[in-house]
Amino acid sequence: MPEPSPKAGFSLLDHVLNLGRQAQAAALSFAFYDYSSDLSFSYQATRVFHAASTIKLAILLALFRAAELGRVKLTDRLHVRNRFRSQADGSPFSLQSDRDGDPDLYRSVGRTASLQSLAETMIVRSSNLATNLLLDYLEVQFVAECLQSAGLSSLRCVRGVEDEAAFAKGLNNQITGEGLLTFFRRVHEAAILTSESRDRMFDILFQQRFNSMIPAGVPDAARARVAHKTGEISTVCHDAGMIFLPGRAPYVLVILTEYAAAGSAAARHKLVAAVSAAAYAFIGSLPPPLPTV
pLDDT at residue number 4: 40
What 3-state DSSP class applies to 203? helix
Give the CA count within 13 Å in the CB-facing half-sphere of 125: 17
What top-level class would CATH report for the domain 54-150? alpha beta
**Does the pLDDT value for residue 46 go beyond 60?**
yes
- Residue 1: pLDDT over 60: no
pLDDT at 223: 85
**Cβ neighbours around 171 below 10 Å, total:** 16
Q: Determine which of 41-55, 99-113, 198-212, 276-290 has the lowest per-residue pLDDT on average.
A: 276-290
3-state SS assignment for residue 107 = helix
- What's the confidence (pLDDT) of residue 42? 93
Q: Which residues, 6 or more positions from 141, have their beta carbon under 8 angstroms from its beta carbon?
A: none
Q: Are strands 84-85 and 92-93 parallel, antiparallel or unpaired?
A: antiparallel
pLDDT at 39 over 60: yes
Flag whether pLDDT at 290 surpasses 70: no
Whether 289 shows a pLDDT value over 70: the answer reads no
**From CA 61, how far away is CA 292, in angstroms rounded?**
33
Give the model confidence (pLDDT) of 164-187 as tens digits: 999 999 999 999 999 999 999 999
pLDDT class for 6, splitting at 50, 70, 90? very low
Q: What would the mean pLDDT of 117-136 be, rounded to a whole number?
A: 98
What proportions of the chain, in percent to the nearest 5, are helix, strand and coil?
A: 45, 20, 40
175 backbone dihedrals φ, ψ, rounded to 5°: -140, 165
- Mean per-residue pLDDT for 221-249? 93
Lowest-confidence region among 2-16, 66-80, 259-273: 2-16
Cα–Cα distance list, 76 to 22, 84, 112, 140, 267 (Å): 48, 20, 10, 19, 41
Q: What is the rounded distance in angstroms from the CA atom of residue 35 to the CA atom of residue 129?
A: 35
Q: Is pLDDT larger for residue 144 or for residue 5? A: 144
Shared fold status for 1-47+176-287 and 54-150: yes
CB neighbours of 124 closer than 8 A, spacing ≥ 6? 204, 207, 208, 209
Mean pLDDT throughout 225-251?
96
Can you tell me the distance from the alpha carbon of 192 to that of 190, in angstroms, rounded to the nearest whole number? 6
On average, the pLDDT of the chain sits at: 93
The pLDDT-based confidence of 13 (bands split at 50, 70, 90) is confident
CATH class of domain segment(s) 1-47+176-287: alpha beta
Q: What is the pLDDT of residues 74-120, one digit of tens each?
A: 999 999 999 999 999 999 999 999 889 899 999 999 999 999 999 99
- Where along the chain do its domains lie? 1-47+176-287, 54-150
Instruction: State mean pLDDT over 227-256.
Output: 96
Q: What is the pLDDT of residues 190-221, one digit of tens each?
A: 999 999 999 999 999 999 999 999 999 998 76
CB within 8 Å of 46: residues ≥ 6 apart = 154, 176, 177, 178
